[in-house]
Amino acid sequence: MEAGRESQLTLWMRRGIPRQKSVVGAISAALALASGLALRLWMLKLLFEVNGDSLIYGGITKNLLLHGRYALTTGFGESYPTLIRLPGYPLFLAACFRLFGMENYFAAVCVQIALDLLGCLLLAGFAARIAPAALRRGAALATLWLACLCPFTAAYAAEPLAETPTLFALALALWATAKFRQMPAWGSALGFTLAVVCAALLRPDGALVAVALAPALLIGLPRPVAPRKLVRIAAVCLLLALTPFALWTGRNWRVFHVFEPLAPRLAVDPGESPNLGWERWVKSWCMDFSSTYDIYWNVPGDVLDPAKLPARAFDSPAQQAETLALADDYNSHGMALTPALDARFAHLAQARIAAQPLRYYLWLPLGRVADMWLRPRIENLPIDLDWQVYAHHHAETEFSWAYAGLNALYLLLGIAGLCLRPHLWRAMLAYILLRSALLLTIEAPETRYTLECFPMIFAAGGLALARLPVRGYLLKLKAFLGMG
């Protein structure tokens, strides 16, 4: 009788363990979300401002709402049609301005913060679906904490820019992909379609997520699915995905008589000069964000300061003298890149490329990608760009190195998680490699261009953390302390 009671009590206790774990998991998830919200609200207080690209998006949005035109407005109050930005983020701002008032960027950023935290939950769900059964809960919680407490993504949630909605779209795409592979159904397929369309309408490079993840929806499904069903799902989703871009392409053809399904790489409207000579010359020496900020963003329209050019911008004293003369001519002629000046930049670039082609086609592109992956992500923090000069500002240098270390930790966790080869690891790695390959082609690096890879890094890093033998270490610690 006593033995029967003991076995029944043991059974009740075992049944109670999952409930206890569930409660602990819920508390941990709530703490992660609360911490993530606190971090983003602090970032909002510290970083919120409306300038640069935010004003471009806002200008398009105001013209959409007030005049029904996808256009920008000059300083003289005249509007003109544009295609330099895709319609995704202006439409997001339009919805926010309708709900909360015209030019209420603060409300739009608050919506972004909510989207960012919802994206963290989606990534936790994605991690649980790709992890082995024994690690699902741990991987989900670790991913949630990594995503919620990442200051790099949190900083952009506090600014009216397209990065946060894009990150949310990527998280939704990953979650929908994993769900579809577990149970192929219309809901997850349509969710994936919505995600990739939003990602591509927000930023031209958002289309890469479809290239990387779409094959995983159809190839090697763990459960057999009727081919007719897959064909119907694929056909409907493809039609839905192409429709917005067909409308956008048709609008651009009607207004500008050009075929443009996304947005111009150099963000210029038809009829405007892309300044290809200037772009090529910058690409012949630019390798870090400091040069992007000090030189590339200033031209045309602002002073070109030769003192801020790095030593690698000159191959010889004669070339340095030619560059200084060219900069002086630009500054003294209204800071406009005339065709004649652009041709001189092109000639200078060609001489540099001919002298060292490997530098232009290999070493500098690799250096730019390395800068975008490894540089301290302080571009939107109140920290000087010369953060590495310890003599100028001790605290900022120390903080920047700590930020670089945190970035490296996230990357190492992501690499470790991918090395474990969870479900969909090939698709995640494909996206990261495709994006890095695309970044090899740009002229001036910005660290935010690699931010779109962080949803994959969060999920892979969460899986790596879940594999750590934490329980074993805790038991050893208890035994060492005499608590076992």
Other C-beta atoms lying within 10 Å of the C-beta of residue 431: 23
Q: Taking residues 59-68, what's their average pLDDT?
A: 96
Distance, in Å, from the CA atom of 70 to the CA atom of 87, rounded to the nearest integer, reads 8
- Label residue 360 by pLDDT band (50, 70, 90): very high
437-455 residue pLDDT tens: 999 999 999 999 999 999 9
Residue 39 pLDDT > 60? yes
Q: What is the pLDDT of residues 171-182, one digit of tens each?
A: 999 999 999 999
- The pLDDT, as a whole number, for residue 365 is 98
Q: Is the pLDDT of residue 11 over 60?
A: no
Q: What is the pLDDT of residue 23?
A: 78
So where are the chain's domains? 53-266+401-474
Of the given ranges (19-23, 275-279, 289-293, 397-401), which has the lowest mean pLDDT?
19-23
Residue 21, pLDDT > 80, answer no
* Tens digit of each residue's pLDDT (9 = 90 or more) over 294-314: 999 999 999 999 999 999 999
pLDDT at 469: 72
The span from the CA of 476 to the CA of 105, in Å, is: 52
Q: Alpha-carbon distance 349 to 254, whole Å?
A: 36
Two structure tokens written together for 101: 């008032």
pLDDT band at 12 (very low <50, low <70, confident <90, very high): very low
Supply the mean pLDDT for the chain.
Answer: 91
Percent of the chain with pLDDT over 90: 81
Residue 410 above 60 pLDDT? yes
Per-residue confidence (pLDDT) for residue 312, from 0 to 100: 95
Give the whole-angstrom CA distance, residue 444 versus residue 369.
10
User: Going by C-beta distance under 8 Å and a sequence separation of 6 or more, which residues neighbour residue 53?
Assistant: 161, 162
Under 8 Å CB-to-CB from 292, ≥6 apart: which residues? 286, 444, 445, 446
- Cα separation, 39 vs 352, in Å, equals 46
**pLDDT tens string 324-341:** 999 999 999 889 999 999
Q: Label residue 383 by pLDDT band (50, 70, 90).
A: confident
Q: What is the pLDDT of residues 122-134, one digit of tens each?
A: 999 999 999 998 8
Q: Which helix (H) or strand (E) holds 458?
A: helix 454-467
Band (pLDDT 50/70/90 cuts) for residue 1 is very low
Strand pairing category for 71-73 and 79-81:
antiparallel
Please state, for a pLDDT cut of 70, what percent of the chain lies above it.
93
Q: What is the model's pLDDT at position 392?
A: 78
